[in-house]
Structure 1
Amino acid sequence: MQIYTDLASRRTGEERAILLALAEAEKRHEQHWLHLLGEHAGDRQRLPLRSRVLGWFARRFGSVFVLALVQRAEARSTYATERDATPQMVADERIHAEVVRTLAARGRAQMSGSFRAAVFGMNDGLVSNLALVLGIGATGVSTGVVLATGLAGLLAGALSMGAGEFVSVRSQRELLEASTPDPLSRTVYPHLDLDHNELALVYRARGESPEDARVHAERAITSYRPDSVQPRHLHTEFEEIGSAWSAAFSSFGLFAAGAVVPVLPYLFGLTGRSAVLVAAILVGVALLVTGAIVGVLSGGPPLRRALRQLAIGWGAAAATYLLGLAFGTQVG
């Protein structure tokens, strides 16, 4: 209940009203348990640490991250197996999970473009440069060569990722714009012949039956008003895709941030196996963190996503390290 109230304090309008309604529903559930506890109600303990931490994040940030965590908490509700929970409470909890899922989906949609670029950029930077540094280092070349290779891989990869994301997002936006009906075409409606209604072909091309398309077209023509024509707006779709520049800079910056991690041991003067080990550990920690964040935001189990990310990253790096050992000399 308190988490929803804290989240509502950071929201306005309809979203605030929805969160307060959820808090009110949780208040009814609390009253049910207080009634059952009777005179023992005063023995209630403080909120669990998890709930208090979530409340703190909700008050400070009110982000989609918190909503995703609340979504998982609602989905794990034990009311279905709780003997003293009423059927209505069980149903309430299931619906609460869907409400929170929908609220979180809004935030996910708004951040999808830049978030995707950030996650891919960070992960690619960590894995690709760790694999590059370990593969080169395993051949037995000098520390200076490994460091130069790592920095070159950082810059080349960041530029490639940034350019690739820019082209990808820009192309997607252009395809969307080209496929969206142009409302300015309505300005020719008064000049169309109702007996030979070409507008019906448009609706037939969109999947309507010939008869439905004819009725739709006639209604569109007869109800046309010049002041009803509005410029084409693609704000909703564009928000879901994200800005091309935002995706490019996010990808560039996050790739560079990830790619510098395996280079750090060499920057601080470590050499040989010690540098390899420290680089692998640092990248492993970063992979666990990014995997857990992706798991939380996607509504999945954070630990499983984190371990999956770690296994993939270390697996790729191990392959190149073994290849470097096979074609070079032992790291000394």
Structure 2
Amino acid sequence: MSASSGPESRPSPAQVRRWRQYLADERAEGAVYRQLASRRTGEEREILLGLADAESRHEQHWRTLLGDQVGKPRRGDLRTRVLGRLARTFGGVFVLALAQNAEARSAYAHDADATDAMAADERVHGEVVRALATRGRARMSGTFRAAVFGANDGLVSNLALVLGVGATGISAGAVLVTGIAGLLAGALSMGAGEYVSVRSQRELLEASTPDARADEIIPDLDVGANELALVYRARGMEAAEAQEHAAGVIARVTAGQGVPDREVQSFEEIGNGWAAAISSFCFFASGALVPILPYLFGMSGLPAILLAAGLVGVVLLGTGAVVGVLSGAPPLRRALRQLGIGIGAAAVTYVLGLAFGTTVV
């Protein structure tokens, strides 16, 4: 699309306001990428500086349209300003995930004053940032998964336990002891479960990884008759492709060029068993602590139950938003989903506790 107005025609006041905001946002986004680049070296630094240069091109587009109506420099929108502050303070995958989400919400595709190239640029920028963020997600995914699951399980399970037993009418002291027992039992169970889960997954994948020492026998194979092609067929190649690849490997070895380098598999996404176990234990315990805080401070009855539910609700909103940001999804939607699931499960347990308490009485 082409811009509907140019320097030769007077834009409307609404257009001027919108263009000035676009100009401020592009300037702020370019600053975010430069801040992120200042914390990196090598390839990632060059990529981020390239994104900053692209934002400068977009900035110039709006300067040209505004002409003498550029006005005083404006601040970017709140989202971009927060992103810039985070980039200066933290950097890392969290900010990249926020930037990915911001690029995906660009309004250029639906604005006649932005060009098709600018709208396409924003889509490409989103994919570039997604690829950069993926590297960080891969490094943290195993431990982060355990931390998030641990915290949410601690929040929801212990809230459900506290609400369930509290609804039966037992004393506040008994509720507190039950909550502490739930915290300890759940944290130990989660830690042990995560360790076994991660270790088992790594062992399964390691068992499926080609043996590096198998390459050592390639020079001793019979050049005319060998089963090397069967190895590649078993790994998924078609018969003709496997035969050709095997012949190429044998030819290299025969010519004294050595065995071709094989890609080394990494299990970064899975994480480390001990790290996952410790993370899961600590985060479950911290999550499970929240519902019993009112009882630790001497509260009892319905006020304690309502405060426990409120505290857990706030934390669930926070963890849901963090997961949404890191996954590049809308944080509010993820936060509300987390809240609904957690409070819904606890509410069911509370109703069952009420029914059980009534039956006992």
- Taking structure 1 as the reference length, the TM-score comes to 0.94
Identity among equivalent pairs (%): 67
In structure 2, the partner of 1:281 is 310
Aligned residues: 328
Letter in 2 for 1:184: R
* Larger deviation, residues 237-246 vs 284-293: 237-246
Q: Does the CA contact (< 8 Å) of 2:249 and 2:259 recur in 1?
A: no
Measure, in 2, the Cα distance between the counterparts of 1:245 and 1:229.
Answer: 35
Q: 1:174 aligns with which of 203, 222, 246?
A: 203
In structure 2, the partner of 1:72 is 101
Displacement of 1:51:
1.7
Measure, in 1, the Cα distance between the counterparts of 2:60 and 2:80.
Answer: 19
Q: 2:282 aligns with which of 250, 253, 262?
A: 253
Measure, in 2, the Cα distance between the counterparts of 1:208 and 1:66.
Answer: 40
Displacement of 1:49:
2.8
In structure 1, the partner of 2:344 is 315
Measure, in 1, the Cα distance between the counterparts of 2:95 and 2:241.
Answer: 46
Q: Does the CA contact (< 8 Å) of 2:252 and 2:259 recur in 1?
A: no
* Larger deviation, residues 221-230 vs 96-105: 221-230
Letter in 2 for 1:263: I
In structure 1, the partner of 2:19 is none
Secondary structure of residue in 2 paired with 1:239: coil
Measure, in 2, the Cα distance between the counterparts of 1:88 and 1:230.
Answer: 41
Measure, in 2, the Cα distance between the counterparts of 1:109 and 1:165.
Answer: 18
Q: Which runs of 5+ in 2 are unaligned?
A: 1-29
* Larger deviation, residues 38-47 vs 130-139: 38-47
Measure, in 2, the Cα distance between the counterparts of 1:30 and 1:105.
Answer: 28
In structure 2, the partner of 1:93 is 122
Letter in 1 for 2:150: G
Letter in 1 for 2:190: M
- Measured against aligned partners, the alpha-carbon deviations of 1:198-219 in whole angstroms (never above 9, x if no partner) come to 1111112122233322222222
In structure 2, the partner of 1:118 is 147
Letter in 2 for 1:97: G
Q: 1:75 to 1:229 in 2, by over 3 A?
A: closer
Mapped pair 1:29 → 2:58: yes
* Larger deviation, residues 187-196 vs 59-68: 187-196
Q: Does the CA contact (< 8 Å) of 1:64 and 1:107 recur in 2?
A: yes
In structure 2, the partner of 1:43 is 72
Mapped pair 1:268 → 2:262: no
Letter in 2 for 1:120: F
Letter in 2 for 1:37: L
In structure 2, the partner of 1:292 is 321
Mapped pair 1:209 → 2:238: yes
Q: For CA contacts below 8 A with separation 6 or more, give which structure has more relative contact order.
A: 1
Letter in 2 for 1:313: G
Secondary structure of residue in 2 paired with 1:303: helix
Measure, in 2, the Cα distance between the counterparts of 1:37 and 1:306.
Answer: 39
Q: Does the CA contact (< 8 Å) of 2:141 and 2:270 recur in 1?
A: yes
Letter in 1 for 2:133: A
Q: 2:43 aligns with which of 14, 30, 40?
A: 14
Displacement of 1:44:
3.8
Measure, in 2, the Cα distance between the counterparts of 1:277 and 1:296.
Answer: 29
Measure, in 2, the Cα distance between the counterparts of 1:213 and 1:262.
Answer: 60
In structure 1, the partner of 2:171 is 142
Measure, in 2, the Cα distance between the counterparts of 1:212 and 1:238.
Answer: 28
Aligned-CA RMSD value: 1.8
Q: Does the CA contact (< 8 Å) of 1:10 and 1:59 recur in 2?
A: no
Measure, in 2, the Cα distance between the counterparts of 1:100 and 1:209.
Answer: 36
Q: Does the CA contact (< 8 Å) of 2:215 and 2:259 recur in 1?
A: no
Secondary structure of residue in 2 paired with 1:221: helix
Letter in 2 for 1:60: T
Mapped pair 1:221 → 2:250: yes
Letter in 1 for 2:94: F
Measure, in 1, the Cα distance between the counterparts of 2:312 and 2:115.
Answer: 48
Measure, in 2, the Cα distance between the counterparts of 1:48 and 1:219.
Answer: 58
Measure, in 2, the Cα distance between the counterparts of 1:99 and 1:222.
Answer: 39
Displacement of 1:232:
8.8
Secondary structure of residue in 2 paired with 1:223: helix
Measure, in 2, the Cα distance between the counterparts of 1:87 and 1:233.
Answer: 42
Secondary structure of residue in 1 paired with 2:268: helix
Letter in 1 for 2:184: L
Secondary structure of residue in 2 paired with 1:128: helix
Secondary structure of residue in 1 paired with 2:169: coil
Letter in 1 for 2:104: A
Measure, in 2, the Cα distance between the counterparts of 1:91 and 1:268.
Answer: 56
Equivalences for 1:158-169 in 2 at 5 Å? 158-169=187-198
